[in-house]
Amino acid sequence: MTTTIPSLTLVRRIKASPARVFAAWTQAEMMAQWFGPHHTRVEQAEVDARVDGQFRIHMIEDDGARHEVGGRYLEIEPERLLVFTWAWASTPERESRVTVRFRPLEDGTEITLTHDRFADAATATRHRRGWTESFERLIALHMETLEEAR
C-alpha cells in the first residue's frame, strides 16, 4: 500500500515585478507587512535569505494568540526560486517544505507555491487557508503600493 503525503499548490498573479515580489519574501520588513492569515500581524520577523540561512516569524492574532514559525533556506535563485523548510515552534518535529517559484509576466509575476511533506491532510487544509489569506494580503499590499506610485 502506498501512502500519499499531503501537499498543496497555489498559483497567483501579482502586478509587481519579480524583483519586488522576491523582496517581499526575503526582506523581514516587507514580510511583516503581509505575511500570515487575516486577523494576524507579524510581531517580529527575522530573515537570513541565503542557503542554510534561517527565518523566524512571530505572529499575533487579534485575540492575542501567539504563533511562531521558522525554517532554513535550502535553495535560492534570486527572483526565480525559494525553497525552505517550515516548522511551527509548537510542533518542531513536523517539518514540511515550501517551494515558491516566481515567473515573470508581461504585467507582473506569477507565483507558484507548493507546500509539501505535511504530517496529515488536516494540517495541509489549515495551511491552504493561511497561504491563501497571505497571498490576498500580499496582492493588496502591492495594489496599494502601485496606486500610491501613480
Span of 7-11, 20-24, 141-145 with lowest mean pLDDT? 141-145
| CATH architecture for residues 8-149 | 2-Layer Sandwich (3.30)
Q: Residue 84 is placed in which grid cell?
A: 525552505
> What is the pLDDT at residue 145?
56
Instruction: Give SS3 for 50.
Output: coil
Instruction: Give the bridge partners for 68, in sequence order.
Output: 58
pTM for the model: 0.92
CB 36 within 8 A of CB 134: yes
The domain spans of the chain are 8-149
Instruction: Provide φ and ψ at 144, rounded to 5°.
Output: -65, -45
> Count of CB atoms within 10 A of residue 36's CB?
23
Instruction: Give the closest residue to 26 by CA, choosing from 93, 102, 90, 89.
Output: 102
> What is the pLDDT at residue 103?
98
State the average pLDDT over residues 128-136.
97
